[in-house]
Amino acid sequence: MLETGRGRRVAGAKKSANNTTPTKVRAKRMSPEARRHQILMCAVDVFASQGIEKATHADIAKLAGVASPTVFHYFPTIDDLQEAVIKEVRRFLLEGFVIVRTDVDAPVHVRVEDMLSSFAKAVDTDKNYVTVWLEWSGSTKGHIWELYKEFYTATTVALRKLLLEGRADNSIKASLQAADAARTILGMAHTIAHMRFCGATSKTAQKTINSFVAEYIAP
């Protein structure tokens, strides 16, 4: 117990090195944008470890090193938190693996193989994003499922557009139906994630990707 400036005693306060002044560990000062981003990144980690439905503001505050009211300030409800995390995972997947390969000077079957190979590596380098995605894709009710259906549509539309480029320049099989292949490619991403999480080596996953592209997509 330490004396305050008004003579009251405060439980839990710590003394400084000279044993006279109470010290308090404070969160590092950040701009509002940086703080929101930091909390969001911590939320992705907590959602991966605790689950989309079980993560709380308090869990995220603890990991971020801030007070719970700070998390509530940026994300007032659990629905706000869930939507923000899901949108971040959506951005990571759709922009980071699909959209980024739409304007690349390479045959489409090569781009698809590179896309899936990069995703396989992300299972190791960005495991929490992939973990949240797998749980999200299995949530078949409520607003979380509605958000997944929107992601599914946006992703398959982008993949179909990419495959139609391949149809035009003969860099995919002529018989390949773009819409069906788009859904199959997204399904292959699930397969890769499941393989890696269930113990398959990165080498095994890569062989699976190579075979899939060679037999199903490449001309």
What does CATH list as the number for 28-76?
A: 1.10.10.60
Query: What is the tens place of the pLDDT at every residue in 58-88?
Result: 999 999 999 999 999 999 999 999 999 999 9
User: Domain extents for the chain?
Assistant: 28-76, 78-217
CATH class of 78-217: mainly alpha
Q: pLDDT tens, 164-213?
A: 999 999 999 999 999 999 999 999 999 999 999 999 999 999 999 999 99
Question: Per-residue pLDDT tens for 121-165?
Answer: 999 999 999 999 999 999 888 999 999 999 999 999 999 999 999
What SS3 string covers 145-182? HHHHHHHHHHHHHHHHHHHHHHHHHCCCCCCCCHHHHH
Per-residue confidence (pLDDT) for residue 141, from 0 to 100: 87
What is the model's pLDDT at position 19? Answer: 52
- Whole-model pTM: value is 0.85
